[in-house]
Amino acid sequence: MSDAPLSPPAPIVVRREDYRPPEWLVPEVALDFDLDPALTRVKAVLAVRRNAGDGPLRLDGGGQQPLAVRVDGAKAEWRMEGDQLVIPLAGEAHSVETEVEIAPETNTQLMGLYASGGLLCTQCEAEGFRRITFFPDRPDILVRYQVKLTADQRQFPVLLSNGDRVGAGMMPDGRHWAEWHDPFPKPGYLFALVAGDLAVNRDSFTTMSGRVVELGIWVAEADLPRTGHAMAALKAAMAWDERVYGREYDLDVFNIVAVADFNFGAMENKGLNIFNSRYILADPETATDADFDAIAGVVAHEYFHNWSGDRVTCRDWFQLSLKEGFTVYRDQEFSADMGSAAVKRIEDVRVLRAAQFPEDAGPLAHPVRPESYMEIANFYTATVYNKGAELIRMMATMLGPERFRAATDLYFARHDGTAATCEDFVVAMEEGGGIDLSRFRLWYTQAGTPRVAASLTHAPGSGKAVLRLAQTLPPTPGQPDKQPQPLPLRVALFGEASGARLCDERLVVLDEAQAEVVFDGIGERPLLSINRGFSAPVIVDTDRSAAELAFLSAHDDDPFARYEAMQQLMLDRLVATVSGGDGDPAPVVAAVRATIADPTLDPAFVGEAIVLPSEAFIGDQLASVDPDAVARARDGLRQAILDGIGHGAWRALWAANRDNRYELDPRAKGRRRLKNVALGYLLADEAPDAVALAADQYRYADNMTDRLAALQLLASTRGATRDAVLADFHDRWADNGLVLDKWFTAQALSTRADVVELVEALARHPAFTLANPNRARALIGAFATNQRGFHAADGRGYRFVADMLIALDRLNPQTAARLVPPLGRWRRFEPGRAALMKAQLEHILAAPRLSKDVYEQASKSLG
């Protein structure tokens, strides 16, 4: 016997190449739920049919024990192998019945059937269904469901599941039942049920073929007045998917339920979407403009999944981006159509750069179609979702709108009712769009963000300009050598003298390591506008001077490129300052002044363009980050912009964008955005009159956008005003959980030097709990993105997050695992911080009974 301490077995690695078709299919299932928060009984009758091989039937479980197993009505032989129920079967087709008991109220993982605010609800993607009943829990088993729900009528008057309700009735003992049939075969991850005391906002939608669909958004009675925006978004999304993709809804009912405890945003269960309540509930008093936009985007996203996810699902979880990348692209385009397309693109690129580029540059980098995982929940990432969406966007750009539509029509027609692969999607793009995407497939297999070096030369008198392009793709874990990928770059040239565009925009597809592109008829010195619209998700390095960037920030006719020129101008100054070089702020101040003064620009665009890059993004440009130096450089430039433009001018800009009365239209939203950016500059030096102005805005605001903007800015200041507005906000919203989350986040993001202590104290606040994922993310998740606090030089921020993570892992491994990546970036920081971060990863790995979710992320982060 060895006396080495017992360490748990390393989790099993699942590999894409190991995919095999299922041995048994399940054409139909009948589920019978006797619902009770303490003890729910689930009876399942599976019709099974042999598909391949000669093995026994294997049903996945989630730790529960079978109370009974019957085959064709008789007691049968079975055994457990780990969590799997294994049943030897003699024939080709059988009826298999199992019975289990589960306890929803003790389910803190929020996967499977759980209790939330008096409701019972489910979350099954990716592998939660096995925690409800023994089942072949893989996405390529498509099953027709009949579901009977029985529960106490008073406690759970509403009983919902997928599909159509076919019957309901009372029982003699005060219980009642409802039966739901879903005519569309679906994998277990799309199963859902909800039981509770819910009120409904009802509406209807008439589809393109004239069918009337009954819509319902189900929430607690008191929340009904906050469901209007989500309902309007749902109807807009239904109409948009018909118009843009020709996709019609297919059931007679579409229900959405909002729940307070939810691991992520929302879930596309067939005909019964379940949402984190933060993506449903909104009114001007409690929700910001960003909340309203996020609600519309997520409602549309889940609705669009009905085709890109439910009608055509994934063969295995390595194909996750098939549904998620495509559906994110669809929701991005929907939101672009509903508001300002330019501003939406800027926001989406900002998200990609904040979340996906760092992921792709770190220890957790993985391809859009991963090759292996220990825990699939760790692969619901910015790479699979947001980079995946960029891949679809690149294909759409190369095809153009008509051919892209023909290709998606082919994809839906060919794969409807099946479980498909990313390869199937690319083939449909090729055949439906008439294009060769052989090399483009590399985007699905290679991780990392490509870098493009671009330089433009012009020989005066020749009329020729030559653009030299070279791409590189850095090594990522397990992928030392890379091949060039096709990069669609939208390019244009501008005349420095004339200010005019010198040529039509060209789509240059760089599919080699290097290329030269020649432009003819260029009579004056040209300036380069490249990756317009952010047509490829790459980092472009150019040799453009501050003067050239300033010129483009005033003259480029592509809004994204114009924004980008300004950001690059700022970034170059900031990086120079941090590295001890020439960080002269004058060109930035001049460009900001010109942008503010341009009357042709949309205020929303101006607001985006003049915002300084985040400290995290500045850090991403550096070989080794010293957060203090980054903070100093950014504060310095902010102060220089405040002084250079002048307090008076900023105050005038603030006043000019003030409205007397709240409206939700895009113009009013843009004005609020610009006004609050101006307020941010005014508060750069905490001048007493600026603090007073923010306090007034806080006090007299008629909407949450303005109130929260003031609160967030004041949270970084010192003094009685800050304390008073924070106390006021807390008392005003103490019983609205979603608004109280904002109160926690505003303080977690504070730039005050003592932010770590403030956040530690907030973790002891009576309203703080790790049991609610929104609350945990509002404080801990937000703090981990605060470059000043989290990276405090003494390591106290790291220790705080690591300890919270370990505590959270006992309750909810999925949510805990999402706190690992900020620590995993240790290689990017100066040696002192890197050592402190590593030590916390080791501390996490040493914790007893670690989940495989956290184990995978922490061990890979150290590796």
Residue 803: helix, strand or coil by DSSP?
helix
CA distance 773 to 110: 9
Determine contact, residues 550/587, Cβ cutoff 8 Å: yes
Counted residue by residue, the chain has a size of: 863
Taking the C-alpha atoms of residue 279 and residue 260, their distance in angstroms, rounded to an integer, is: 10
Q: Which is nearer to ligand ARG, 324 or 706 (CB)?
A: 324
Nearer Cβ to ligand ARG, position 815 or 840? 815
Phi, psi (deg, nearest 5) at residue 181: -120, 130
Q: Which is nearer to ligand ARG, 162 or 717 (CB)?
A: 162
Interatomic CA distance for residues 217 and 536, integer angstroms = 38
- Least distance in angstroms from the C-beta of 257 to ligand ARG: 14
Please identify, using beta-carbon distances, which residue of 218 and 264 lies nearer to Zn ion.
264
DSSP state of 829: B
Query: What is the DSSP pairing of strand 212-219 with strand 253-259?
Result: parallel
A 10 A CB-CB count for 794 gives 10
- Binding-site size for ligand ARG (CB under 6 A) equals 11
- Of 60, 179, 293, 324, the residue at the interface with ligand ARG (CB under 6 A) is 324
Residues 673-692 that bind Zn ion (CB under 5 A): none
Residue type, 234: L
- In the complex, least distance from residue 146 CB atom to ligand ARG, rounded to whole angstroms: 24
Q: Is 302 in the site for ligand ARG (CB under 6 A)?
A: yes
Q: Which residues fall within 8 angstroms of residue 197, CB to CB, at 6 or more apart?
A: 118, 119, 155, 156, 157, 158, 220, 221
Tell me which stretch binds ligand ARG (CB under 6 A): 156-164, 266-274, 646-654, 741-749.
266-274
Whichever of 237 and 508 has its CB closer to ligand ARG, that residue is 237
Output the CA–CA distances (angstroms, integers) from residue 110 to 107, 250, 669, in the order listed: 6, 29, 35
Work out whether 266 is an interface residue with ligand ARG (CB under 6 A): yes
Q: Between residues 302 and 856, which has the closer beta carbon with respect to ligand ARG? A: 302
Beta bridge partners of 412: none
Shortest approach of Zn ion to residue 275 CB, angstroms?
A: 12
- Helix, strand or coil for residue 517? strand
Question: Taking contact as CB under 6 A, which single stretch among the options 29-37, 265-273, 538-546, 676-684 is the one that binds ligand ARG?
Answer: 265-273
CB 250 within 8 A of CB 186: no
Binder of residue 833, out of ligand ARG, Zn ion, none (CB less than 5 to 8 A by kind): none
Could you tell me where the DSSP H helices lie in 270-319?
289-304
Of 257 and 711, CB closest to Zn ion: 257
- The yes or no reply on residue 377 touching ligand ARG (CB under 6 A) is yes
Measured from the CB atom, is 291 or 324 closer to Zn ion?
324
Nearest approach in angstroms of CB 264 to ligand ARG is: 5
Element (H, E) at 603: helix 603-609
- Among ligand ARG, Zn ion, none, what does residue 377 contact (CB within 5–8 Å per kind)? ligand ARG
- 424 sits near ligand ARG (criterion: CB under 6 A): no
Span of 161-169, 259-267, 433-441, 480-488 interacting with ligand ARG by CB under 6 A: 259-267
Q: Is 267 in the site for ligand ARG (CB under 6 A)?
A: yes
Q: Where are the strands (E) in 88-211, listed by range?
A: 93-102, 112-116, 119-123, 143-152, 158-161, 164-170, 175-186, 193-196, 199-206
Among 264, 357, 443, 534, binds ligand ARG (CB under 6 A): 264
Taking CB positions, which residue lies at the least distance from ligand ARG?
A: 380
What amino acid occupies position 101?
E
Annotated active-site residue in 179, 302, 347, 390: 302
The pairing of beta strand 539-542 with beta strand 418-420? unpaired
266 binds, among Zn ion, ligand ARG, none (CB under 5 to 8 A by kind): ligand ARG
Which residue in 143, 194, 153 sits closest to 27, CA to CA?
Answer: 143
Interaction mask 320-359, Zn ion, x per CB under 5 A: ----x--x--------------------------------
Partner that binds at residue 264, options Zn ion, ligand ARG, none, CB closer than 5 to 8 Å by kind: ligand ARG
Residue 847 binds to ligand ARG (criterion: CB under 6 A): no
Q: Is 302 among the residues known to form the active site? A: yes
Q: Which of Zn ion, ligand ARG, none lies near 307, with the C-beta cut-off 5 to 8 A by kind?
A: none
125 belongs to the binding site for ligand ARG (CB under 6 A): yes
Q: Is 380 in the site for ligand ARG (CB under 6 A)?
A: yes
Q: What's the min distance (Å) between Cβ of 426 and ligand ARG?
A: 21
691 binds, among ligand ARG, Zn ion, none (CB under 5 to 8 A by kind): none
150 binds, among Zn ion, ligand ARG, none (CB under 5 to 8 A by kind): none
Distance in Å, CB of 368 to Zn ion, minimum: 14
C-beta of residue 592 within 8 angstroms of C-beta of residue 375: no
The contacts of residue 343 (CB under 8 Å, 6+ apart) are 602, 604, 605, 608, 670
Query: Six-digit token pair at 625?
Result: 């980050």
Candidates 20-28, 261-269, 339-347, 626-634: pick the segment binding ligand ARG (CB under 6 A).
261-269
Report the alpha-carbon distance of residue 396 to residue 759 in Å, rounded: 45
CB of 376 to ligand ARG, least distance (A): 7
* Residue 809 near ligand ARG by CB under 6 A: no
Residue number, 299 or 802, with CB nearest to ligand ARG: 299
Q: Which is nearer to Zn ion, 327 or 814 (CB)?
A: 327
Separation CA 396–CA 842 (nearest Å): 44
Query: What percentage of the chain's residues is helix, strand, coil (to nearest 5)?
Result: 45, 20, 35
126 binds, among ligand ARG, Zn ion, none (CB under 5 to 8 A by kind): ligand ARG
Structure token pair of residue 418: 């099946």
Q: Closest CB to ligand ARG among 227 and 276?
A: 276
The residue to which tokens 């850095």 are assigned: 474
**Closest CA relative to residue 42, chosen from 140, 112, 93, 126:** 112
**Distance separating alpha carbons of residues 551 and 582, to the nearest angstrom:** 20
- What residues are paired with 173 via a beta bridge? none
Q: Is 268 in the site for ligand ARG (CB under 6 A)?
A: yes
CA–CA gap between residue 804 and residue 763 (Å, rounded): 9
Question: How many angstroms separate the Cα of 489 from the Cα of each of 466, 501, 561?
Answer: 15, 17, 12
The partner in contact with residue 572, picked from Zn ion, ligand ARG, none with C-beta cut-offs of 5 to 8 angstroms by kind, is: none
Positions that interact with ligand ARG (CB under 6 A): 125-126, 264, 266-268, 301-302, 324, 377, 380
Instruction: Cite the active site residues.
Output: 302
Positions that interact with Zn ion (CB under 5 A): 324, 327
